[in-house]
Amino acid sequence: MKFIKVFLSIIIGLIVIIFVGVLIFLNSIKVEVTDDDLPQGIYTETGDLESISQVYLLGIVVASDADQYTLINGFMNYMILDSIRKNINPDYDPLADLDTVEADYVTYDKNFYIDYIYANLNDDNQIVVTAAFGSDSIIKVDSALNLVFDIDLDISFTNIGFTLTLVDYSLSDTALSFQVLDFIMSKLDKTEIEGQMSMGVLDLDTYTYTLSILNP
């Protein structure tokens, strides 16, 4: 009987430690993303998103060096929203105050949801794509995956475009290794994911995204 009590005490202690550890981890990756973080003008745009994004891309030819990166950031946000509506959820419209699952979430099920995907330009002229996600099925948690890309411009007589290369990524402020990403990608249908881009070429083997006027 004494052994059983000790054994149960150890089990209960381990459960408490694991539970507390999970709570600490969830708290460390917790971050709140709201509608205010979205590029407002793009998400209220009523024109054809693909056409507008291509105008942005053409603008880098005559833009200053600093403005070129800003235009690429604008292009990325148009492309992301266009890809969501064409390939994932045609009713996605988080700024419309419709208060429906279809409008408020990129994708949603009872265990997991993604509510925002958008791009920002950081101080190092890198594109940071943020995907905000969460779950409220067992323990309420909201976090965000941040993907940091270097920008390689390609402007010449034969091409106008750029390549984004993933150089860093994190869960909230917690940096993750590429070994983790490689493992995750090995379990997914990369071809299906790559095909969800409405413009450009996504390569999940090299973690690059390439866009050219010649190959939009």
pLDDT in tens, 133-155: 888 776 677 888 889 999 999 88
| Contact between 92 and 106 (Cβ < 8 Å) | yes
Q: What is the pLDDT of residue 31?
A: 81
Q: What is the pLDDT of residue 195?
A: 86
Q: How far apart are CA 199 and CA 216, in angstroms?
A: 5
Residue 74: pLDDT band by 50, 70, 90 thresholds?
very high
Residue 14: pLDDT band by 50, 70, 90 thresholds?
very low
